[in-house]
Each structure stands twice: as structure tokens, then as C-alpha cells.
Amino acid sequence: FSSASEVMPSNVQTLVDQAKYLFDSSFGADVDKNLPNYCVSAPGRVNLIGEHTDYTGGYVLPLAIGFNTVGYGCGSVVKKDSSESIKCRIVSTNNPVAEFHVSPSLEASTGSNKWVNYVQGVVLQYLPDLKEDETFMFDLAIIGDVPLGSGLSSSASLEVATAVFLERILDSHGVAYCSAKDAPLSEKQRKMERAVRCKLAENIFCGVPCGIMDQFVSSAGCEGKLLLLDCRSLDYREVSMGGENASSSDAPVLVITNSNVKHDLGDGEYPVRVRQCKEATDILTKMNPSIQSLRDATMKDVEAAAQSAGLEGVLLQRARHVVSENERTVKTADALEKGDWETVGKLMNASHTSMRDDYEVSCEEIDVLVDLAQTFGDGVFGSRLTGGGFGGCTVTLVKKDSAQQLIEYLKTQYEAKTGTKCVCFETAAASGAKAIDL
Ligand code: ADP
Ligand code: MG
């Protein structure tokens, strides 16, 4: 990402042109001209609040943002045969062309080619839609401006873009998408099903035990809205800043700041947190069998388990974060709709403290950024770490009039304090994944 450190969200059309160019220059003369072309895009996201709650079925409140992954390619469903000509080829910026044959026995790559797993994992999720004697054949070029590994979910945007590409192929081939169901899926069900499949792809094929937030909002995001998602039922409510009647000029804006640091520790700590949540849940379930996940527990339950059921130390801290974060997330959605920015800001600040002290997923650089924003003075309502942690981005709710001043302040002060440059920009809620007409 360092090379793109001053890049703002680029316009999707530019990405489409770049993807088409990459497609032509990578596959060129070898492309089967009979295969139809498709173009798709899927956004990254920022989470306002509700962090590390999705994998225990809790609440999250993300929005899709104006950074996207775009795929341009051609492809079809074809009859399997023994010839080597039925294959898939994928390419992305800074990665050479990778070739593979789609089969259930496909194995995940290790080392420098790991990015192909995000595509292949999704392909495997769509394979059951085909008949026994059919398979996919495609060439696909990927270009994105979602910064990689910065907590804005480039991985989910890559998965979801791949999924929409495959759905376009299935649609053109007349495959009743998700044919196990009796009736065709509604547009809403389709987005949900896509998110479920992409999450499974990341869990199974990429070995990341993530929840469903990123894939869901990349798939179902809505312009101008945040999504309050119940990660257990997958019910969601579209939430607008200030509610339906707010005049948009009064509403504050969100500023994302990329710390430009990513500590390797994070990749290993994520599965540790997932495991600790399971262990804390086991203790709570023993105390009260109706608590089947942290989502079912209240802060009273957590306190009771600390008193009498042996919930202590790190497990107590982890449970306290997740359970209190669920409560904060639901409250934040309500406060947002009422235009009660002070309350939203306080909840964001409390979320950060909880992630830093109880969940222990922050780091020095992120704490510097959050502290700078929280003490900026009039104009800032709240600020917190967003995403998995150990680096990545912060999100700040700030009065529209103060946003530019805040951005300048964060840039100079962060560099002065850490020696690292940050990237800072205002963001608005963008729409979810789509097919782009060619
Ligand atoms: P995040 O999702 O927060 O950006 P992850 O570590 O979950 O971070 O995912 C980043 C990985 O996703 C990259 O290392 C790469 O393997 C893959 N990826 C995402 N977008 C692209 C892209 N446009 N081209 C190639 N690989 C990508
Ligand atoms: Mg990711």
C-alpha cells in the first residue's frame, strides 16, 4: 500500500479500463473469442462499530466505501472433458497469471501466490450449482484500489467480485442459481447467499476464521446507508445518519485514517481471539444453558459468571468486550438515526477503549491516531480502531466543517509522533457489489 499512500478512492470507470487493459495484455491472443465478456465490481468497507462480534453471531454496523475491486473477464460453463484446454486463468496487479483446473480436489496455494486462494475458494463454493459433467472455464483480470491488509477488507471485495462474476456466467448459461431452493432467489436473498458462500470460502480455503461482516456489506451495501447486521439471523436494517428526515448538510461525516502499519502479530492473534470467545462461551453455557454464544449473554451474565462460574483473566476480558460491544452497536444505530451524534461518539470511544484494554487488538500507532482525534477538540464526536486490529485504520465521526482541519492535524501530528505518514480521507456509504454493463 505504501506506493499508493496518497491515493483517494478512484472512480470505478478507471478501474474498469485498467482491468480491461490487464486482461488484454495478460491473455491477449489466447482468449477464446466465443466466450462472453463480463465486468463486475465489489467494494471494501469500514466498520463504524461492532468489532470482533460477527464470529460469535453478534451485531455489526459497517458501510461499503468508495474503494473497489473490479474484475474483467470472459467465461462460460462447459462440459468437462479430458483435454487440458478447459482451464481458468486469473491475473491481478503485481501478480503473474495463475492457471488452474476447477475441481473439488483443488488445493490451496501457499507462499507468494496466496491471493489465488480467495478466487479459487469462491469458485469451489459455486461448483455445486453445476451438473456433474460441467465445469467453469474463464479468464479473469483483477484490479482494485482497496488497500491490501489495511482493515478495509480487500479480501472480501475480491471474493465478492469473483462471486458476482461467476453468477453472471451462471445466469448467461441459464443455470438456476442456487437450484436447491424451490423458487428463484430474490435479489436480497441472492446477496445474502453470496455473502455466506464468500465467508465460507475465506474460512475453508484461505484458513481465516472470519465472521460474515465483510462479505455481507460488500455484497449488500447500500448507498448512503450503514447496515445494522445481526450476524446470526442475517437480518439487517439500513441505517442512515440522522434518519430519513435529516437534512444531509447537518450530518457529520466519517473520516478514515490508514495508519500504514500492519503488525504481523495480528494474523496469529485473530484465531486466538476466536478460540478465547469459544472458551468464554463454554463457561457461560455451563452457568446458564440458554447462553449458546456470546451473542446470548448480557453484561449481567458476564458479571455473574465472573462472580461464581470461574470466568476470569483473559477470558473475562474477551467476553466483556464482545458482550458490551454488541450492546454499544445496537445503541449506536438508534443514536445515529436520531442524529444524536454525542452519544454515537461516546459509544465509539468506549468501543476503542474496550478493544484496546479488554480485547487487546490495538497497537501503539493506532492508539496515537485515536488519541489525536479524540482530543482534537470541538468538531470530533468520537474515534476508534476499525477492522481486526494490530494496525490498519481508524474511523472518526466529525462535523463536516471540521473534517478538513482534522485531516491536516492527523497527518502532521501522526508523522511527528510516529515517523510514519498516514492516509486520511472522508468517506460516504457506497453501494454493494454489482455487474457493470459493457
Ligand atoms: P484486508 O481484507 O483487510 O485488506 P486481508 O489480509 O484479509 O486484508 O486480505 C488481503 C489479501 O487479499 C491480500 O494479501 C491478497 O492476497 C488478497 N487481495 C485482495 N485484493 C487483491 C487484489 N486486488 N489483487 C490481488 N490480491 C488481492
Ligand atoms: Mg480481510
**Burial grade of 308 (CB within 10 A; 0-12, 13-18, 19 or more):** exposed
In the sheet that holds 423-427, the strands lie side by side as 380-386, 391-398, 253-262, 423-427
* Mean predicted confidence (pLDDT) in 237-246: 81
What is the CA(122)–ligand 2 centre distance, in A? 14
**ipTM, two decimals:** 0.99
Element (H, E) at 303: helix 299-308
Residues with Cβ within 8 Å of residue 289, at least 6 apart in sequence: none
The reported pTM is 0.95
* Spatial CA neighbour of 163 closest among 78, 80, 40, 36: 40
Q: Is 141 exposed, middle or buried (0-12, 13-18, 19+ CB in 10 A)?
A: buried
Neighbours of ion ligand 2 (CB under 5 A): 153, 155
Grid coordinates belonging to 65: 466505501
Chain length of the chain: 438
Summarize the confidence of residues 185-190 as an average pLDDT: 90
Residue among 222, 218, 208 nearest 144 (CA): 218
Catalytic residue status for 214: yes
Distance CA 203, CA 210 (A): 6
Q: Which residues of 396-406 are buried (b: 16+ CB within 10 A; e: fewer)?
A: bbbbeebbeeb
Provide residues with CB under 6 Å of ligand 1: 69, 92, 95, 114-115, 118, 142, 144, 148-155, 158
* pLDDT mean over 66-81: 95
**pLDDT value of position 81:** 85
Q: Which three cell numbers stand for residue 421?
A: 505518514
Runs of H (alpha helix) within 339-396: 341-357, 364-374
Closest ligand 1 atom, CA of 150? 3
> What would the pLDDT profile of 242-253 be if each residue is shown by its tens digit?
876 666 567 899
* pLDDT tens string 282-317: 999 999 999 999 999 999 999 999 999 999 999 999
Atom 16 (ligand 1) nearest CA: 115
Cell 462440459 locates to 79
Distances (CA, A) of 111 to 114, 115, 116, 191, 273: 6, 9, 11, 31, 24
Cell, residue 300: 449481567
Residues 6+ apart with CB under 8 A from 201: 118, 121, 122, 124, 125, 159
Beta bridge partners of 286: none
Is residue 141's pLDDT more than 70?
yes
